[in-house]
Structure 1
Amino acid sequence: MGGDIARARELLAVAKPDSEPTGAADPGKPICPCCGGRMIIIEVFERGCTPRQRPTAATTRIRIDTS
């Protein structure tokens, strides 16, 4: 694949960037246990304390009565 990118740059006459992305994300950010992506911390609070930003309300459930 690396050769494909180099060839595309050559055909488009685009200069090679100074640093190639290594694929490694910022090591200071924690990893999501569900998807493996990097998480962005929006708030840190002590155990037992209430967060400043409350979670959004759950969506209204649609009930279908088939009786």
Structure 2
Amino acid sequence: MDEEINGYYDDDGNKLNPDLIPKPGLCLICKLDDNPNEEILCNLNRLDQRDEDEFKCGAFEPKISNN
């Protein structure tokens, strides 16, 4: 059996590609956006809300501008 089991899957067992889900604007201004330690949680949150009208994230922390 040569079955791939890593990655993200929906409740029906369909593999999901987080690269195909548009990144919400909130993520683009979040300091956690490029943090590899947060990548899995961020991807799961985006995948979970992919069909919602409004994106919400309880872990959002705004990037601090040095200007």
Specify which structure has the higher proportion of strand: 2
TM-score range normalised by the length of the shorter chain: under 0.3
TM-score (norm. length: structure 1):
0.26
Specify which structure has the higher proportion of helix: 2
Structure with bigger RCO (C-alpha 8 Å, 6+ apart): 2
Q: Which has the larger radius of gyration?
A: 1
TM-score (norm. length: structure 2):
0.26
